[in-house]
Amino acid sequence: MTSASGSVAATSRAGPLANLRALMRDRPLIPLIGLLILLIVALEVIRPGIVNELWLSNLVKFAIPLAILAAAQTLTMLTGGIDLSAGIVATMSAFVMATTVPHIDAAIAIPLSLVPAMLAGLASGIGVGIFRVHPLIMTLAVGLVVEGFLLAYQRFVLGTSAQVPEVLAWLGTGRSFGLPNSLLLFVPLALLIGFMLRRTGFGRLLYAVGDNERAARLSGVRVWQVHVALYVLAALLAGIAGLVYVGLIKATTLSLAVPLLLPSVAAAVIGGTSIFGGRGGYGGTIVGALILQVLATMLTVLQMPEGTRRMLFGLIVLGVTALYVRVTEER
């Protein structure tokens, strides 16, 4: 009798849990969008009238650089890596661009500023792919060296006044037909990333390497080439994020995009990309970036200090990862 009721209770408890498990594994976007809507409703309840067209467009405007930076994290996390140099690499692109614009045309300065970013990515890729250093340690180290170069470069260009070209300011802050202009860059970019992950060989290789690197290697994948290409691509995305962000902020400092690093990791983690590799996608990351942006607004409205924000984001990363370990674990 007791054992029978116990087993009934166990199955009824396992039912919804199994459903949730299946939902989070197969369609992570549905619970995520639900959470996003829930947070926006909660924000409207806390501060009635805050949610309007202008607020939404600002939300999107600030979420876009974060989502581009989080794309770098998503791609590296698919192979079981991470890019801790993304924040400083984004800053480097923005800073190099802003200090070369007074001397050369913006049309040259903007692509030129992405070159040092890609070199940093190349260094990370070589360390991870060829020397087999853990990506976390390698990108941390590359970030430190990049910071050193940036400090030296800053002294070199001390006399130059930094400028943000019109085109980036237009892209970062402008609106056309009520929609932020940065969508013009972001929508094609996001589609391209989505296409790359789902439809191209390189995208499938990222999943294969992240899922089982040994199996990928034994099936003839040159894993080191995948890593090198991946980290260069991630750094390029970080550089683009930096350029969009400086267009939005319109002030260049040496710590411009550094505070975006933690949210970029958190956005990818919340979006359902496994930090252990092999599972996830870019759609979830975009929703993750929006969720974090709404959360940041909420914390500002509640007048939480910066320290609380960081602690909360850290707890989110830990909690969500632990949840995904339990939900998707096959037993």
Partner 1 sequence: MTSVAEAAAPTSGEPRMAGLRRFVRRNAWVIGLWALLGALLVFTKLIQPDYGPAAFAILAVAALPYAFATAGQVMAIIPGGVDLSLAAMMALTSVTAAVLMEGQGEAFGIVAVALVLLLGLGLGTINGIAVVVSRVPDIVVTLAFFFIWEGAALLVLDSPGGSTAVWLRELVTGTLGGSFPLADLGQWIPKALILIAVAIGIVWLPLRRSRLGLSMYAVGSDRQAAFRSGVPVQRTKVASYALAGLFAAMGGLALTMITGNATPLQGPYLLASVAAAVLGGVSLAGGRGGLVGPIIAVLILRLARQDLTLMSVDPNVAQIVEGLIMVSVVLLGAVAALRSRRA
Q: Is 305 a residue that touches partner 1 (CB under 8 A)?
A: yes
Interface residue with partner 1, options 6, 34, 102, 148 (CB under 8 A): 148
Cα 95 to chain centroid, rounded: 20
Q: Find the part of the chain contacting partner 1 (CB under 8 A) among 15-23, 148-156, 234-242, 246-254.
A: 148-156
Q: What angle do CA 28, 208, 81 make, to 5 degrees?
A: 75
Interface residue with partner 1, options 36, 240, 262, 268 (CB under 8 A): 262
- Reading the block at residue 26, the tokens are 């197969």
Neighbours of 178 (CB within 10 A): 9
Residue 253: exposure state from Cβ atoms within 10 A (0-12, 13-18, ≥19):
middle
Residue closer to partner 1, measured from CB, 33 or 122: 122
Asked whether the beta carbons of 243 and 169 are under 8 A apart, the reply is: no
- Reading the block at residue 63, the tokens are 């979420």
Neighbours of 175 (CB within 10 A): 16
Residue closer to partner 1, measured from CB, 202 or 276: 276
User: What CA–CA distance (Å, rounded) separates 266 from 323?
Assistant: 14
* Residue span 115-144 as binding mask against partner 1, x where in contact by CB under 8 A, dash where not: ------------x---xxxx-xxx-xxx-x
Q: Is 330 a residue that touches partner 1 (CB under 8 A)?
A: no
* Residue span 210-249 as binding mask against partner 1, x where in contact by CB under 8 A, dash where not: ----------------------------------------
Q: Is 253 a residue that touches partner 1 (CB under 8 A)?
A: no
User: What CA–CA distance (Å, rounded) separates 85 from 21?
Assistant: 33
**If binding means CB under 8 A, how many residues of this protein chain bind partner 1?**
42
Interface residue with partner 1, options 152, 214, 219, 331 (CB under 8 A): 152
Asked whether the beta carbons of 180 and 174 are under 8 A apart, the reply is: yes
Beta bridge mates, 176:
179
Sorted by sequence, the CB contacts under 8 Å of residue 318 that are 6+ apart come out as none
79-108 binders of partner 1 (CB under 8 A): 82
Nearest in space to 244 (alpha carbons), one of 56, 107, 96, 61: 61
Residue 133 Cβ vs partner 1, minimum distance, rounded to whole Å: 4
Residue closer to partner 1, measured from CB, 306 or 330: 306
Q: Is 310 a residue that touches partner 1 (CB under 8 A)?
A: yes
Residue closer to partner 1, measured from CB, 167 or 254: 254
User: What CA–CA distance (Å, rounded) separates 197 from 153?
Assistant: 36
Q: Is 321 a residue that touches partner 1 (CB under 8 A)?
A: yes
Interface residue list for partner 1 (CB under 8 A): 82, 127, 131-134, 136-138, 140-142, 144-145, 147-149, 151-152, 154-155, 262, 265, 275-276, 305-315, 317-318, 321-322, 325-326
